[in-house]
Every structure is written in structure tokens, then in C-alpha cells.
Amino acid sequence: MKSDLLRFNEISRRSFVERMAQAAFGLSLLPYLPGENLFAAEAVAANPAVARGPGFGKAKAVIMLQLSGGLSQIDSFDPKTGASKGPGSAVSTKAGFQVSSFLPETAKVADKITVIRSMTAKVGVHEPARYLMRTGFEKRGTIVHPTLGAWAQNYLGPSHPTLPSSVCVNRPSNHGNGFFPATMSPLPILDPGEGLPHAVSSTDASIMEQRLALLSDMDRKFTGSVKDSSVAAYNDFYESTLRLMKGKDLECFDLKKEPESLREKYGANRFGQGCLLARRLVEGGVRYVEVESGGWDMHKDIEGGMEDRGLEFDTAFAALVSDLESRGLLESTMVVVATEFGRKPQFDGSGRGHHPGVFSCVLAGGGAKRGYVHGASDEAGGHVASDPVSVGDLHATVAYACGMPIEQGVMSPSGRPFTVGNKGKPATAVFA
């Protein structure tokens, strides 16, 4: 199959879409055949050039926590003293590094996580920066890039027979499949407490079956005469939705199946419940879950913001890491704390401006070292001092952890070559 991947510019878009739709599990018209992932990692085995060092392929699932608006590194994972100091203070952890006093619960699990303090980017505008963090590519007007979840589905195949391979929580499904077919876009869960709404058939099974048969008869004329990939994608969505409705995996979306005490531990808010849902989904077989938290654009009142959003994050993140650990899932699940960019070292007494030059991200599990700091910012927290990690590098790192053939490119339907993380280099030092 790999040869086909490399010859995409020679085959038609129609053929591309059909092939990809077949590869997209959960969403294909073909029955699920384990071991027959059309674009699977076998390509890696056939390509000795791909490096396979420590940590490669250890992460079977990824939970991406996206803090939208720009997490202040100094007020979270990279505390500073002197002029840059914010409203919080630095607290020590048993891992030997410090975090901000706004993250007391995270401090307790510091010995399980890797902090990357040398993230750096050039984009300081929200939407393009969010796009960059989601896709690993700078936003262009000419093409839409896929998220890591879609890349993984492309390279590794679907992660489960009926469940989707990607889910995004607390956000709609834009920034998803990119140039891969719409069937690789994440399933959006807007309210984790509600799970997947309307998944139960609105009428009894025999009527539903007749309706569906009639639907397929009556729509055939239209779908047959209209040659369009987006219409085709809708056909596929119907098939996969029906399969999901019939399957028993719907329970994965139901937080009511979790003990009340655990739900409280994650925090009674959308982000906290989203993190718990992410754990349930990963446990059930979903490979890639993004949970979004909004409200991190703290131009003003960082103190209030960190007491509010910061507390929600701190509670949920620590609960998630501990919960995964106690279930034996942390080694096979990589939790990534990502954001749009950092915030300026200059503290005006209230807030801080956008600062892509240096910021922090966090990896926990999935083969990442425990109690480790990768890279450093300078004394003021304004520039990278050592081991810079670009957003593309971060993507390559996560892709490497998942066992994706990061050096092997794909050709987009428009004939342009791309690699996951845009030729970024994995920061292999983070792996144990």
C-alpha cells in the first residue's frame, strides 16, 4: 500500500477519497477486518530508514488537552523570580523541578510528567496559533492540514471496530481531517455530561429498518447522479452512525457509568468532566481524544484567571494522570498539555500579552520520562535557552510515540507532499 500512498498524484481524487474512506474505520462501508489496515504501520517495517528508538510506538492512545487562549508559562510550568514573577510563587515538587503555586495538585504528580519548557513558535495570533498547535502546520489559505488524530488514522488504521478513532470534547469538529477524507474528522462531543445525544433510535427497530430501506431506494437517484466527495462522505457517515447505534460501545460516552466520587475528583466543570470522558473513551478503544478548555487569554487579571481556569485545569489534569496510572493505562496513553502560545515575561500587575517565543507544554505517560524537564527558557522567561522544541517537533514527538512513520510523507489530493509535524524532529530525549 505504501507505494500507492506515494503515487497519489497519479491517481484520481475520486480514487483517493474512496481508498481513504475504506481505510477510515468506523466510517467505512467495508466490514472491519483486523490486521487489514490499508495504510497501516506495515509500511514502517518495510522502510528501514525510519528510526525506532526508545519510546517508539509505546503510546496506544493520546489525550490532548488544548488550553485555548495561551497558557502563561511563568504562571504555570515555568515559574520565574525577579521582574518576570507573576501573582503566584514557585513551589517545589518531589521531582526536583518547580511549578507555580497555582498548580498545587499538579505539583503532587510532578514525578509522573515531563515538562517541556523550550516550546517556541512564531505565531502570536489566536486562531492561526491554535491551528498550528492542532495540526503542526502554519495556517494557509490554500490547504487545510489534518490533526494528529487523522494522521494516526491514516498511518495506523482505525483504532476500534465501531467507535470513532478520534473524538474532540468541548469543541466542534473543525480542524479535523484536513486533506484526508471527512470520515477521518473527529467526533465532536460538545457537552461531556450529555455524552453522545440522540444515539437511541427514534422509532422501533422494524419501522427504522423499513425507513432506512426506503431512504436508500429513494436517494439512489440523487446520490447516483451527483458525483461529489462530500455527498459520498455523508453516505459514509450514515453507515457508521448506524453501526454505532447498533453497537454496545455507546456506554463509553456515558459518564453516568462512573462513580460520583471520581466525577467529583475531576472537577464539576466541562473541562474536568471532559478529561474523565477522555479516559473512558481511551479505555474503550478510541485512539485520539482532544479536550478543549477555553478562557486562557489572560491579558488582564491573571490571578483571577488562574484561580478560576487554572484551578479547573490543575484539578482535572492531576486527576487524569493519577486515574490513568491507577488503571495501568499511563504507560500506553500519552497525555499532552498544549496551548496556543505563551505569555510575555512582562507582568503589568494584571495580565500578560501573547508570547509565542517561548512557552511550556507537558507530556505525561505514553513512554515519556517521569519527573523530567526538557529544555529551558532564559532567566526572564522570554527566550529559549536550550533544546528548542517547535510545534512541529512536538507533533513529531507524539507521532513517534504512537509509532507513526514520521519520515514517510503522504501526497495530498492536490499533489502536495506532507509529513506529520511538517518535517519536525521528535524530541527523543523525553522518552524513558
Partner 1 sequence: MKRTPFLLCATFLMTSVALLEAAPGKKGKKRRAGGGEVAVPADQVPAASISWHFWTASSGEKLEAKFRALENGIVTVEKRDQKIVRFPIARLSGADQEFAKICKSAQPRPPMAQEIITKAAARIDDSINAGLKLSSTAPNPPTSDAQFVRRLYLDAIGRIPTGEEANSFLTDPSPDKRAKLINTLLNSPGYTMQMYNWLADMLRVKDDYGKGARAFLYEDWLKDQIAMNLPWDVMVRDMLTADGKLNENGAAGFLLRDAQMPLDGVSNLLTTFLGANVSCAQCHDHPFADWSQRDFYGMAAFFGATDGYHEDVYRTSRRLVKSGDISMANQKQVAMLLVGNAYNLVDLPSNHLKFPDDYQYKDAKPGESVKPELIRWTETTKANDAFPMDDVKPSKLRNEFAAWMVHPENPRFAANIANRVWRKVFGIAVQEPVSDLDDPSQASNPELLAQITTYMKQAKFDLREFQRILFNTAAYQRRASEAPEDPKKFRFQGPTLRRMSAEQAWDSIVTVTSGGEADQLLLRRGDNLQKTVIPDNQINAATVTRVLAELKADGIPMRSGGGGKKGGSINPRALVGFYEGGKPEIRSGLLLARASELQQPAPENHFLRLFGQSDRLVSDTNTTDGSVPQMLQLMNGPVQEMITGDSKALVTARKSARPAEQISSLYLSFLSRQPTPEETATATAAMGKGLGLTDLAWVFLNSREFLFIP
Residue 331 CB, nearest distance to partner 1 (Å)?
A: 30
Residue type, 10: E
d(CA 72, CA 74) in angstroms, rounded, equals 5
| DSSP track, 270-303 | HHHHHHHHHHHHHHHT--EEEEEE-----SS-HH
Q: How far apart are CA 317 and CA 192, in angstroms?
A: 16
The residue among 162 and 408 lying less far from partner 1, judged by its C-beta, is 162
Minimum CB distance to partner 1 smaller for 25 or for 97: 25
Backbone dihedral region for residue 26 (phi beyond 0: left; psi -120 to 50: alpha; all else: beta): left
* Residue 274 contacts residue 193 (beta carbons within 8 Å): no
Q: Round to whole Å and give the CA distance between 376 and 78.
A: 9
Give 49 or 205: the residue with its C-beta nearer to partner 1: 205
Instruction: Rank residues 106 and 154 by Cβ distance to partner 1 and give the closer one.
Output: 154
Q: Which is nearer to partner 1, 96 or 197 (CB)?
A: 197
Residue 99 CA, distance from chain mean position: 24
Comparing CB distances to partner 1, the nearer of 190 and 262 is: 190
Counting beta carbons within 10 angstroms of the beta carbon of residue 196, is it exposed (0 to 12), middle (13 to 18) or buried (19 or more)? middle
d(CA 131, CA 64) in angstroms, rounded, equals 14
Candidates 141, 142, 139, 118; CA nearest to 130 is 139
